[in-house]
Amino acid sequence: MNTTEIGFFTAQPYMGGVDEMGIFTPAHLVWLTYSLALIIVLVRVYAHQRPGTELGSPRRTMMLIVATVPPVLLISQDCIMISAGMFNPNWWPLHACNLCEYLGLVYALRPNRFSGEVLFTLGIGGAAAALLFPNWYYCPAWSWPVLCGFTEHSLIITFIAMQMHARDFVPRLRDIWMPALFVGIYAPAAYAFNARFGTNFAFVTTPSPGSPLETMAGVFGIPGYIIPYTLTVFAIWTVMYVFWGAWMRRSRQKDAVH
């Protein structure tokens, strides 16, 4: 495709190297600011809704809306690629964050602890990593894939963060086995799928460009970097649980004082 034909809704595979956004460029920082603002505003809006998450309640309705938008944006990109004849296995929605989008919708329809714990760990951690080191960095800063990428991942974080802030969902360290089980099934399946179709889901075949995984691969090689990759993920999860527990204890102490 000629570069002059690149437009806002151009299929993402065609955008490589054409006025790319880059990582930690001014344009990237603007999008990060947008993501942070979106998360904060929606979390605060949710907190000010009437307590209760039963069907038909304002909070449950907001959960459903926030959970529905990411899959809709994902489908919109898939449709653009299908119409351009570019929807090969590399673009199938099988990344960890895609699975978190599906789990968010499942949780909104039927709240459950397993989905909540996975969204707290893998959802927040994975989406935050994607926002900081987006694998859509090569697209023009003002394009549909970039808008979708930042919005989808921001809403993954928002979905569970707004419930945690309102204490409608409280993560528990003793349930860390749930996301561990999820990853224990998903990661080997992704590795096998990657080997069969030449894809790179979960970045367990090659590191994501521009991310810390590249440094790990430089030190430990490929596939050796998977070991520090896995250990880092579980270390981050543990810190998240410990931090959340400490925040909850301080919050209870303040409530007791007042």
pLDDT, tens digit only, all 258 positions of the chain: 444 477 899 999 988 777 899 999 999 999 999 999 999 999 999 999 999 999 999 999 999 999 999 999 999 999 999 999 999 999 999 999 999 999 999 999 999 999 999 999 999 999 999 999 999 999 999 999 999 999 999 999 999 999 999 999 999 999 999 999 999 999 999 999 999 999 999 999 999 888 999 999 999 999 999 999 999 999 999 999 999 988 887 776 666 655
Give the model's pLDDT for residue 6.
Answer: 78
Query: Is there a domain that residue 198 lies in?
Result: yes
Handedness of CA 186, 202, 7, 87 (dihedral sign): negative
Give the model's pLDDT for residue 256.
Answer: 61
Give the model's pLDDT for residue 248.
Answer: 80
Query: Is there a domain that residue 230 lies in?
Result: yes
Query: Is there a domain that residue 172 lies in?
Result: yes
Query: Is there a domain that residue 3 lies in?
Result: no
Query: Is there a domain that residue 105 lies in?
Result: yes
Query: Is there a domain that residue 1 lies in?
Result: no
Query: Is there a domain that residue 211 lies in?
Result: yes
Residue with tokens 């090969």, as numbered in its chain: 88
**How many structural domains does the chain have?**
1
pTM (2 decimals)? 0.93
Residue pair 236/116 in contact (Cβ under 8 Å)? The answer is no
Give the model's pLDDT for residue 210.
Answer: 86
Find the domain containing 120 and state its range.
Answer: 9-257
Inter-CA distances, 191 with 90, 186, 203, 228, Å: 13, 9, 9, 16
Inter-CA distances, 90 with 8, 81, 97, 131, 214, Å: 21, 11, 15, 20, 20
Handedness of CA 87, 101, 32, 58 (dihedral sign): positive
User: Residue 51 — φ and ψ, nearest 5°?
Assistant: -55, 150
Query: Is there a domain that residue 2 lies in?
Result: no
Inter-CA distances, 43 with 68, 84, 118, 121, 137, Å: 16, 37, 19, 18, 27
The first and second tokens of residue 245, run together, are 């527990």
The closest of 128, 130, 119, 133 to 162, measured between CA atoms, is 119
